[in-house]
Amino acid sequence: GQLINGGGTLGLSGAYNVRYMGSSYMTGAEIGTGLDSLWVNVPIADTVWMSSDISTASYMKLNSGVLALNNHNLTVNGIYLTTVNGSILSNALSGITLNSTAGITGALNFSMGGDTINNLTVNIGAGTNLSLGTNLYVAGMLTLTQGNLKITSHTLTIGTAGNISGAGFLSTTNLSTLNVLATAGVANPVNFVGSSLGTLNLNMGATSTFALGNDLTVSMSLNLQNGLLVLGGHNIHITGDIAAGGSGKLVSTNASNVYLVGTMSPSGSLTFDNSGNSVSSIIINEGAGNSVSLASTLNVEGIMNLVGGSICNIQGDTLNVATTGRIIGSGALGINSASALNMLTNSGGTIGPL
């Protein structure tokens, strides 16, 4: 049935619970400051439309059907439970805050055509996961206050006006994709947890930055279309491809190591920005005869290790090996008349064929 307000007042004292069952519904007078829990259990094709912001005190259960945020904000304090039959319909004017240290059951599922959100705040307890059950586009701020937002096999996109903040983590696998389109870049370093991130796409402003909060392995594709990937003293392992055609760059210092490990030559080049083009060590292990091309100056202050016959092409660019550095391994350097190789090392080592 429907609760219809004909001009009176619905008096609800103390904490109370609301359940939506039976059919589609527009929320109304039953939503108030005393709302303890919310349960959506309508047929899977039906929708509960929010007519105002909703905040629960204890839990929310999205069992079946669609909860349409309808330009409003949803705040869940307490337990969040959902099934594969329950989903959220959102847009760039709606937000979700999850303050759920008591526990998460199920994934955050969005309806087809409704997987855009303005702001998402994840505050779910250290070590706790909130899993995405679908792709998600964050148009505004993704706040990772505490806990892990688990991308699993889906795609998380930070929109052109988006940003990421907080001390929480993005939990990823080799099937996860992170797209960062933020024109102004991401203000704070981003923390990752998990064995690897499948694909990282950066397409920000030319001088905008995305900084790592810890070491990262990119297992499928690193696509630096535009902007700067700042290692920030951390290490990056690229075990997949480096996409071609991008103008983005790495920013590194002598506190970071770069590992390139695979079985074929990357499609694109490795490019460092002039503001940070030093590494402690760089290890290239792409297989005999396969090569990694540098498209900028690189300063090696530790070890360049060309493993198993791998080739580092510096054709037309400059490789500086510092007094504390050396080149080792059975690989080779590819150079031409436009290349510059400055060996300042007094640490020994060998260089393969040039």
Side-chain half-sphere exposure of 3, counting CA atoms within 13 A: 13
Residues ≥6 apart with Cβ < 8 Å to 149: 120, 122, 129, 130, 132, 142, 156, 168, 169, 170, 171
User: Around 202, how many Cα atoms within 13 Å sit in the side-chain half-sphere?
Assistant: 27
**According to the model, what pLDDT value does residue 101 have?**
83
* Cα distances (angstroms) measured from residue 114 to each of 29, 88, 118: 25, 7, 12
Q: In what order do the strands lie in the sheet with 311-313?
A: 291-293, 311-313, 332-334
Q: Which two tokens stand for residue 20?
A: 């939506």
What does the block give as tokens for 52?
Answer: 């105002």
Q: Residue 8: pLDDT band by 50, 70, 90 thresholds?
A: very low
| Dihedral pair phi/psi, residue 113, rounded to 5° | 85, 0
Residue 229 has which token pair? 């990937």
Average pLDDT over residues 132-147: 98
Separation CA 92–CA 117 (nearest Å): 5
Q: Residue 298 pLDDT > 60, yes or no?
A: yes
pLDDT at position 12: 61
- For 154-182, the pLDDT digits (tens) are 999 999 999 999 999 999 999 999 999 99
Per-residue pLDDT tens over the stretch 313-347 = 998 999 999 999 999 999 999 998 899 999 986 76
Q: Which two tokens stand for residue 110?
A: 């969005």
Q: Is residue 9's pLDDT more than 70?
A: no
Per-residue tokens: 70? 């309808």
Q: How far is CA 329 from the centre of its chain?
A: 34
Q: Is 309 helix (H, G, I), strand (E, B) or coil?
A: helix
- Model confidence at 6, pLDDT cuts 50, 70, 90, reads very low
pTM over 0.85? The answer is: yes
| Separation CA 335–CA 309 (nearest Å) | 16
**Token pair recorded at residue 247:** 């103008």
- What's the rounded Cα separation, in Å, for the pair 338 and 345? 22
Specify the DSSP class assigned to residue 307.
G
Distance CA 289, CA 146 (A): 46
Q: Which tens digit of pLDDT belongs to each residue from 17-48?
A: 999 999 999 999 899 889 999 999 999 999 99
The 10s digit of each residue's pLDDT in 214-252 is: 999 999 999 999 999 999 999 999 999 999 999 999 999
Non-local (6+) Cβ contacts of 258 within 8 A are: 231, 235, 236, 238, 250, 252, 270, 279, 281, 282, 283
Q: Is the pLDDT of residue 308 over 50?
A: yes
Q: Tell me the pLDDT band of 50, cut-offs 50, 70 and 90.
A: very high
Distance between CA 42 and CA 28 in Å, rounded? 17
pLDDT tier for residue 62 given thresholds of 50, 70 and 90: very high
